[in-house]
Amino acid sequence: MSVSVRAVLIGLALLFAGAAGAEEYKLNITKGGAAKMRIEVRDFRYIETLEAPLDGGEECEEVLARDLTFSDFFNVRRETNYLPGIEDSTRAPRDVFALVHGEVRREWGKVVLKGEVVEAASGKTIFRKSYPIGSPPDRWAVHSYADDIVYYLTGEPGVAQSRIVFIGTQDGKKDLWSVDYDGARLGQVTRLANIAISPAFAPSGDAIAFTSFMNGRPDLVSVRLADGKITPISNRPGINSAPCYSPRGDRIAASLSFEGNAEIYLLDPSGAQATRLTFLPSIETAPTFSPKGDRIAFTSDRTGEPQVYIMDADGANARRLSFNGKWCDSADWSPKGDWIVYVALIDDVFDLCMIRPDGSALQRITGGAGSWENPRWAPDGRHIVAAKREGGVRKLYVMAADGGGKRALTAFRGDQYNPAWSPPLRGTDAR
């Protein structure tokens, strides 16, 4: 959904009318500390198998180092020359906390990546784990290793095993596309060649709910990523839009208009049961659940202009949250529960803002040229993806939660908007 809630809803109405590792060394590290830990990624060893680049020509070690740098926990150094083995800890770099090793070898006819992280000063093993891979090594095995390193060294989740879906327009056709968090492995999810908006991942990561016009009207549907099967959720009269799964996946909040104007409803996953939460003559849309599933942030124009509100998950105790722009919309609740990000019209430009759920600590995290749309949190609660409109075309960017470190997500040619960040995807289904 674009930043203009009312414009989108009116437009819709017009269109409608026409493997676990063993921890061997206990760390005592303060989570979320500001100082970055210094680590060193060593060249991998290749035993009984050829060293081969990943798709795109990248080396395993370079992908791993980039994953770890992007996590924002580490100051990563690459070492490509010979250094003493871990048994000679006295000669290890003194400014490095941990050394990251890897071996790609054949075991029982299969190729595996054997990862090991050791404390540089003592040589003690922090953890070691094997990752089954193809030949040449695939990116997902490296991403899995990166996420384990983040977890064992910080206790926090990594995002290397995650993907981002978005609406992409090529040749005038709008469809769902997906890409790895780092911009690799771009692929088309749907081939409906019709209007699609507002994708949202199921908590399991195996399906995406979105609004589709494939039947000539705005219906809520879901697509299963394994085989592309599309299942209807709600095809009630009027508008069915802006789906958001509850953290447990047992409910879907959405904006429906079958009883008049657009209101927030709770649906069961099949869409058969619909419980109305809001009862005002205004437009209510863009719901987002809190991590505990007990509250919902949403957009309402009940005061005459769209603003972000919060209510209990049963519709009670609604209160206004945003007061810093003429038009505030497209909220997303951090998976940690500590922040809500949204867009606000400030000085005739839509910028990204963050605020605490209690309304305190407002921050404007973007500024300058271009308007931003649809910010969405990464599963680590430390990164955001959003669309930026410049020159009539939207492009996706990933950034740290404070707005720093912006990078273009993909080289996709065409309009890119409505991103959604997956939960961590484990196992071979995400490959």
Res. 149: pLDDT tops 90: yes
- Band the pLDDT of 368: cuts 50, 70, 90: confident
First to last CA, the chain: 28
Backbone angles phi, psi at 149, to 5 degrees: -60, -45
Give the pLDDT confidence score for residue 429 in this predicted structure: 45
Separation between Cα atoms, residue 310 and residue 103, nearest integer Å = 50
pLDDT of residue 339: 98
Q: Can you tell me the mean pLDDT for 129-138?
A: 74
- Higher per-residue confidence, 92 vs 190: 190
Residue 421 scores a pLDDT above 70: yes
Inform me whether the pLDDT recorded for 81 exceeds 80.
no
> Distances from the Cα of 373 to the Cαs of 22, 260, 305, 336, 342, in angstroms?
42, 27, 17, 22, 8
Q: Give the distance, in angstroms, between the CA of residue 73 and the centroid of all CA atoms in the same chain.
A: 18
The three-class DSSP label of residue 60 is helix
Does 90 have pLDDT greater than 60?
A: no
Amino acid found at 197: I
Q: What is the pLDDT of residue 19?
A: 30
Tokens of 192: 């409906």
Strand pairing report for 393-400 and 383-390: antiparallel
Q: Which residue has the higher pLDDT, 161 or 18?
A: 161
Cβ count within 10 A of residue 31: 8
Residues written for the chain: 431
Q: Across residues 335-354, what is the average pLDDT? A: 96
Per-residue pLDDT for 217 more than 70?
yes
- Residues 212, 222: Cα–Cα separation, whole Å: 9
Q: What is the pLDDT of residue 50?
A: 58
Residue 151 confidence (pLDDT) above 90 = yes
3-state secondary structure of 133: coil
DSSP symbols for 406-423? -EE-----SEEEEEEEPP
SS (H, E, C) 167-220: EEEECCEEEEEEEECCCCCCEECCCCCCCEEEEEECCCCCEEEEEECCCCCCEE
Q: Bigger pLDDT: 100 or 105?
A: 100
Q: In the chain, what percentage of residues exceed pLDDT 70?
A: 84
- Residue 18: the pLDDT is 34
For residue 324, name the pLDDT band (cuts at 50, 70, 90): very high
**Domains delineated in the chain:** 5-18+160-430 (2.120.10.30), 30-154 (3.40.50.10070)
Is pTM beyond 0.95? Reply is no
Mean residue pLDDT of the chain comes to 86
Q: Average pLDDT, stretch 188-205?
A: 94
Q: Which of 87-91, 173-177, 425-429 has the highest mean pLDDT?
A: 173-177
The answer on pLDDT for 382 being more than 50 is yes
In terms of average pLDDT, the best of 10-19, 53-62, 336-345 is 336-345
Tally Cβ neighbours within 10 Å of residue 248: 10
**DSSP track, 215-254:** TSS-EEEEEETTT--EEEEE--SS-EEEEEE-TTSS-EEE
Band (57; pLDDT cuts 50, 70, 90): low
pLDDT at 111: 81
Out of 69-83, 291-305, 310-324, pick the least confident. 69-83
Does the bond joining 136 to the residue before it have cis omega, within 30 degrees of 0? Answer: yes
Is the per-residue pLDDT at 299 higher than 70?
A: yes
